[in-house]
Amino acid sequence: MRALLSIRLRLFVWLLLPLFVITALGALITFWQAWLPTRDAYDLELTDAAIALAASLQPGPGPGELMLSAEAERVLRADSFAQIYFAAYDTKGALLVGDAGLPRPAAAVRIGGSTHYDGEYQEKPLRLSASREVIEGQPVELVVGETLNKQNRVQRRIFSALLATNVMLIVATIAITLIAVNQGLRPLTILGEAVAKRSHKDLTPVGGADIPNEVKPFVDSINGLLNRSALAASNQQQFLTDVAHQLRTPLAGLMTQLSVLQQYALPNELHHIVTQLQSSGDRAARLVNQLLALARAEPSRFDEARLQTVQLGDIVEQAVQTWLAKADEKKIDLGAEVQFVRVTGDPFLLREMLDNMVANAVQYTPEGGTVTVGCAIQQGQPTLFVEDNGPGIPPAERDRVFERFYRIDGGSNGSGLGLAIVRDIAKIHSATVHIETPQNGSGTRVCATFANQPVGL
């Protein structure tokens, strides 16, 4: 039963079904408690009528015959609601007076006693009373019946009164159950919403001090799982960091040996090979730094203790210094445009971010181009930017280039991580990155704009 997988529905069914049964039984009992005394009262009336009939009977012309005056019969039959039938029988069961065929009691009634029963006459249901009296020296059975008009009326009244109160009771019960169940399940709803709102990287424990006892074991085991996940994620990041660090020493050996090789007067072909090897080594070294930056830019590992006031101008100058040699190789005019701007951030990560922005510009700007690295207050916000006069990025691709491993030209030179790292680092610094076209109308301007930062000026 898929439907019963809802706790709410389960509670409804298990609370309301028994309640309905109990309410119905209660109504039935109430009905009979209200009805039986009423029926007894009507039965007594019928007995009284039988006694009145007995009193009205007079000796008839023949021996053992009895008769009733028209006057007496009129009084007997007078009733505003029901139709009255009556009959008197002798001991042999022969009709002495009254309506023929009126149902007789199942068992004989003793003298001076009376009995009540249901019957049918002329296709009408009747309530009847039978008694036995001695009249004019002979025992006579007196039967009086009436149609059920009065009884039915009373029953209907009892029934409608019961219906009204019970419907009210049921509606109130459903409403209270609904409210109670929702109220009881509220902590679960709140917990669910809190978990649903989480980022997939947020592995901190769920729930607070207000977790109900019943849910606590479940929440505890969820938190245990989250803990293990966080530990595994942290171990993975630590592993990545360790691997990246371990790679640096052999890379340094490789690069150093290549520098040695380059000092010799090499034949052209060998010189070309050494240059290619050096460029591969450079890329591997950059990749190591990028991996470290990625690991460190993970929100779970982002360390607020590393935050400090950073002069963006210093970062810009360091980046220009770092990339000057590479820019020279492509005869690119690499320059700076520095304003006095400060932000709060992790200096290593901000450098790595700008490094990746500059690397991208130097890579995609053709020989003889211009790349400008700078910082400024743009629309009131501290901004790091790298502008080039290269081919530019079509507006349709400007968001996609920040995805990991996305490359515009499918070229193999970059790792495809650079701008993804820029975006990740920007994000944890509450900065946004975007690409625009420089004011002179061609090229690319990548901006990292810091929000919520006190602007230093």
Partner 1 sequence: MKNFRIALVEDDQALTDGLSRLLRGAQFRVEGYGSGQAADAALQHEHFDLLLLDIGLPDLNGLDVLSRLRSRGSTLPVLLLTARDEVSDRVRGLDLGADDYLVKPFAIPELLARIRALLRRNHNLAGRLVHGPLIMDLNAQRAWIGDAPLELSAREWAVLEQLLKNVDKVVSKQQIVELLTKSDATLSFNAVEVYVSRVRAKLEEAGVNIRTVRGFGYMLQSTLAA
With a CB cutoff of 8 Å and minimum separation 6, the contacts of 363 are: 413, 414
- Binders in 357-376 for partner 1, by CB under 8 A: 372, 374
Pairing mode, strands 333-338 and 370-378: parallel
Per CB under 8 A, the segment of 31-39, 245-253, 400-408, 417-425 that binds partner 1 is: 245-253
The reply to whether 18 sits near partner 1 by the rule CB under 8 A is: no
Concatenated DSSP letters of 266-299: --HHHHHHHHHHHHHHHHHHHHHHHHHHHHHHST
- The minimum distance between CB 437 and partner 1, in angstroms, equals 21
Per CB under 8 A, the segment of 113-121, 138-146, 150-158, 249-257 that binds partner 1 is: 249-257
Closer to partner 1 by Cβ: residue 94 or 325:
325
Per CB under 8 A, the segment of 4-12, 39-47, 104-112, 314-322 that binds partner 1 is: 314-322
Query: For partner 1, which residue of 214, 337, 399, 403 counts as binding (CB under 8 A)?
Result: 337
Bridge partners of residue 125, in order along the sequence: 120
For residue 66, which amino acid is it?
A: L
The reply to whether 243 sits near partner 1 by the rule CB under 8 A is: no
Residue 93 falls in which region: left (phi positive, over 0), alpha (psi -120 to 50) or beta: left
The reply to whether 252 sits near partner 1 by the rule CB under 8 A is: yes
Query: For partner 1, which residue of 104, 124, 248, 330 counts as binding (CB under 8 A)?
Result: 248
What does the block give as tokens for 243? 């691997």
Per CB under 8 A, the segment of 9-17, 222-230, 266-274, 327-335 that binds partner 1 is: 327-335
CA distance 172 to 73: 54
Closer to partner 1 by Cβ: residue 129 or 372:
372
- The minimum distance between CB 261 and partner 1, in angstroms, equals 9
Query: For partner 1, which residue of 165, 321, 413, 442 counts as binding (CB under 8 A)?
Result: 321
The reply to whether 238 sits near partner 1 by the rule CB under 8 A is: no
- Do 356 and 391 form a contact (C-beta atoms < 8 A)? no
Which secondary structure element, helix H or strand E, spans residue 87, and what is its range? strand 84-89
Per CB under 8 A, the segment of 51-59, 191-199, 227-235, 255-263 that binds partner 1 is: 255-263
Closer to partner 1 by Cβ: residue 80 or 263:
263
Query: For partner 1, which residue of 117, 121, 159, 348 counts as binding (CB under 8 A)?
Result: 348
- The minimum distance between CB 359 and partner 1, in angstroms, equals 15
CA Rg value for the chain: 51
- Do 374 and 359 form a contact (C-beta atoms < 8 A)? no
- The minimum distance between CB 326 and partner 1, in angstroms, equals 10
- Do 404 and 276 form a contact (C-beta atoms < 8 A)? no
- Binders in 96-155 for partner 1, by CB under 8 A: none
- Do 127 and 42 form a contact (C-beta atoms < 8 A)? yes
CA distance 226 to 219: 10
The reply to whether 259 sits near partner 1 by the rule CB under 8 A is: yes
Whether the CA torsion 327, 446, 380, 311 is positive or negative: it is negative
Closer to partner 1 by Cβ: residue 206 or 336:
336
- The minimum distance between CB 241 and partner 1, in angstroms, equals 9
CA distance 65 to 59: 6
The reply to whether 251 sits near partner 1 by the rule CB under 8 A is: yes
Query: Residue 163 burial by CB count (10 A; 0-12/13-18/19+): exposed, middle or buried?
Result: exposed
The reply to whether 325 sits near partner 1 by the rule CB under 8 A is: yes
Contacts with partner 1, residue ranges (CB under 8 A): 245-246, 248-257, 259-260, 262-263, 281, 285, 292, 306, 317, 320-321, 324-325, 333-338, 347-348, 372, 374
